[in-house]
Amino acid sequence: MNIILIGPPGAGKGTQAKRLVTGRGMVQLSTGDMLREAKDSGTVMGSRVAGIMARGELVTDEIVIGLISEKLDSLDGAGAIFDGFPRTLAQADALERLMADRGTPIDHVIEMRVDDEALVGRITGRFSCANCGEVYHDKTRPTRVDGVCDACGSTDFLRRSDDTEDALRTRLMAYYKQTSPLLGYYYAKDRLAVLDGMGAVDDVSGAIAHVLDA
Ligand code: ADP
Ligand code: AMP
């Protein structure tokens, strides 16, 4: 099964994707993670996108479609969770073509709805494990032992440089202008499921399971 998680920054896509990886053996394909990796390892492409990402704007379709198509080759039969991709209609069309060529269509597109005010709190309190990428929050999901990752025991944590109120404003605008038209696109294809992303993490996981197991 292949699914897309779609929602504004801070909706909980990464958190839920990680649960699906652990619980169902699916593979998380996050273009944000891929771009941050390219940036951190100092590739030419990474340095080209650094400023765009810091401002919260979208990088070009060509770059992210290239990244995704490379990763699809390494899926090895596992189901994919697209997290943060597609974000434009051109990306959605490219993904349709890539998946049709492989004979593995997208089964469900899950929209996670969260109020804008809640997103500010989620984004400004987010941090993650530098070793395994587990996602935490200062208030809603602190580590069980202060300063130690629940998942892998690492004591190194990261805060994203674009998790500021300023960059979030630009990221939200990009979401509403460029990404939200995809909701109509997938609705028309009868693949869209909408769920309330405001509930507790376990409740959101339950709602996703309900869609996947229907
Ligand atoms: P996204 O990948 O959509 O940008 P994340 O999964 O990184 O979002 O979540 C953003 C922040 O909100 C993180 O700090 C995460 O711990 C927290 N979070 C995720 N889901 C929930 C939830 N259902 N309730 C409260 N906080 C949440
Ligand atoms: P994310 O980790 O999904 O919040 O993405 C972080 C940043 O990476 C975004 O603000 C964009 O600058 C860039 N990015 C990630 N995915 C895409 C995409 N599919 N299309 C364009 N830009 C993207």
Q: Nearest C-alpha to atom 9 of ligand 1 is from which residue?
A: 12
* Ligand found nearest the CA of 56: 2
141: DSSP letter = B
pLDDT in tens, 132-160: 999 999 999 999 999 999 999 999 999 99
Q: Nearest C-alpha to atom 14 of ligand 2 is from which residue?
A: 32
| Average pLDDT estimate for 192-213 | 98
88: DSSP letter = S
* Residue 76 pLDDT: 87
| Average pLDDT estimate for 123-130 | 96
CA distances from 42 to 38, 135, 209 (A): 6, 24, 38
Annotation marks residue 160 as catalytic: yes
Q: How far, in Å, from the CA of 101 to the mean position of ligand 1?
A: 33
Q: CA torsion sign, 22 to 23 to 27 to 29? A: negative
Average pLDDT, the chain: 96
Residue 74: band (very low, low, confident or very high) from pLDDT cuts 50, 70, 90: confident
pLDDT in tens, 2-43: 999 999 999 999 999 999 999 999 999 999 999 999 999 999
Structure tokens of 170? 């630009």
pLDDT in tens, 34-71: 999 999 999 999 999 999 999 999 999 999 999 999 99
Strand order through the sheet with 3-6: 27-30, 80-83, 3-6, 108-113, 192-196
pTM (global) more than 0.95: yes
Q: How far, in Å, from the CA of 15 to the mean position of ligand 1?
A: 6
* Residue 27 pLDDT: 97
